[in-house]
């Protein structure tokens, strides 16, 4: 283990009544990193968080914090801070008393408590509301108080379990940037659990996508979005979701091409795959629509238009499928016919049986 690793999971496994919730999980979190565990409900992410915090014991495997195995260590001795979706701010106590609560429980002398509370209040812009009671705070203030109450104890690691899931969309948007800025300013190591891909993509240094108790892929937001490893990751990340259409790879005079219901002869430079049937994954932004036929376009009909303000999403026929296509507002109306092309270089070939995405050759190998 290297010196910059704050948290490491080695083969961590957990079952409940014979049902495996976490399947031999391996994961490492570097100091000062913001890593999100992202996945649907029931995928094992909150169970993983509970084992790290010490509320659940793993059936097997090791949990290390700063190189020490903490499996049998009591939660309060792990120096881990935890914030749930219910911020649990004490409504009858002032903000100052909320922040001092954990320090007082640790037996910190009064002068040191006052100094620590003043420092964290300044860093999280809470000085003006120290006298307010918890029950009178708005959601933004409540989140900052909940974070400050944990951070003032100087945890080695901060665990956040769906902290924004109860908030409306506009408030979540403002708090995302606020939370990320706090994490950067304090150089705090954060493990963030969420089912919301927007939260994970916008705040994380890295994302670990979970499904059925296992991490399918861990990487930067750029990696996860542009280079997914399988169909699940490709479809889980991205809004509007990625389009999946049947296709066939053929050999055309020594060159591999893709044929779909509407397009044929799309070159597959840089990919070596067997001839056969596949699925083609194309993000809505990688379809191009025009009103006039052009080389490489195919005619289609608009069945539905979704208005998202800055952009419209057209749902258009594609053989027996409907695909989503992103355009500027007012580009076309329901019932119109238009002409589609797709960027095959940005598309992913999916194996029809195991649903893995067929790897591209590296630039070195292609050369």
Q: Per-domain residue ranges for the chain? A: 5-231, 240-366
CATH number of 240-366: 2.40.50.140
CATH class, 5-231 region: alpha beta
Distance CA 290, CA 136 (A): 54
Let me know: does 143 contact 85? Beta carbons within 8 Å: no
| Phi/psi at 6 (5° precision) | -90, -45
pLDDT given at position 198 = 92
Low-confidence ranges of the chain (pLDDT < 70): 1-2, 87, 361-367
pLDDT at 70: 96
- Reply yes or no: is the peptide bond before residue 240 cis, omega within 30 of 0: yes
Q: What is the pLDDT of residue 9?
A: 98
Other Cβ atoms within 10 Å of 205 Cβ, number: 17
Q: Tell me what pLDDT residue 367 has.
A: 37
Here the tokens at position 51 are 């084992």
Work out the angle between the directed axes of helices 110-123 and 169-186 (0-180°, nearest 10).
120
Nearest CA among 146, 154, 160 for reference residue 36: 160
Question: What pTM value is reported for the model?
Answer: 0.87
Cα–Cα distance list, 206 to 32, 124, 162, 234, 336 (Å)? 12, 24, 17, 16, 42
Contact status, residue 156 vs residue 65, Cβ threshold 8 Å: yes
Q: What is the pLDDT of residue 361?
A: 58
Helices (H), 124-243: 139-151, 169-186, 197-203, 221-226, 231-236
Contact of 81 with 151, CB cutoff 8 Å: yes
Residue 148 has a pLDDT of 87
Cα distance between residue 156 and residue 307, in whole Å: 45
Q: What is the pLDDT of residue 8?
A: 97
pLDDT recorded at residue 363: 39
Region at 54 (left for phi over 0; alpha for psi -120 to 50; beta for the rest): left
């Amino acid at each position: 283990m290297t010196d910059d690793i704050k948290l490491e999971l080695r083969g961590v496994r957990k079952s409940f009544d014979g049902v495996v919730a976490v399947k031999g999980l391996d994961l490492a979190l570097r100091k000062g990193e913001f890593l999100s565990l992202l996945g649907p409900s029931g995928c094992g992410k909150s169970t993983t968080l509970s084992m790290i915090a010490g509320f659940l014991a793993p059936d097997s495997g090791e949990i290390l914090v700063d190189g020490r195995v903490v499996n049998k260590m009591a939660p309060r001795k792990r120096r881990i801070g935890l914030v749930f979706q219910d911020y649990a701010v004490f409504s009858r106590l002032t903000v100052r008393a909320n922040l001092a609560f954990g320090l007082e429980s640790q037996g910190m002398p009064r002068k040191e408590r006052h100094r620590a509370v003043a420092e964290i209040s300044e860093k999280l812009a809470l000085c003006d509301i120290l006298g307010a009671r918890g029950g009178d705070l708005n959601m933004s203030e409540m989140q900052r108080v909940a974070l400050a109450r944990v951070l003032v104890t100087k945890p080695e690691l901060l665990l956040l379990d769906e902290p924004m899931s109860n908030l409306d969309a506009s408030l979540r948007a403002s708090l995302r940037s606020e939370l990320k800025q706090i994490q950067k300013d304090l150089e705090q190591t954060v493990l963030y659990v969420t089912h919301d891909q927007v939260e994970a993509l916008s705040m994380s240094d890295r994302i670990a996508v979970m499904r059925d108790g296992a991490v399918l892929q861990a990487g930067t937001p750029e990696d996860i979005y542009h280079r997914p490893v399988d169909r699940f990751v490709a479809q889980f990340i991205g809004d509007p979701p990625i389009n999946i259409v049947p296709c066939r790879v053929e050999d055309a005079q020594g060159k591999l091409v893709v044929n779909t219901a509407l397009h044929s002869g799309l070159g597959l430079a840089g990919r070596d795959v067997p001839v056969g049937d596949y699925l083609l994954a194309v993000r809505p932004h990688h379809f191009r629509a025009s009103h006039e036929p052009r080389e490489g376009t195919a005619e289609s009909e608009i069945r539905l238009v979704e208005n998202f303000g800055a952009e419209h999403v057209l749902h258009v026929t594609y053989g027996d499928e409907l695909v989503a296509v992103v355009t500027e507002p007012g580009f076309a109306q329901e019932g119109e016919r238009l002409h589609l092309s797709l960027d095959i270089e940005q598309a992913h070939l999916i194996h029809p049986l195991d649903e893995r995405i067929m790897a591209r050759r590296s630039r070195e190998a292609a050369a």
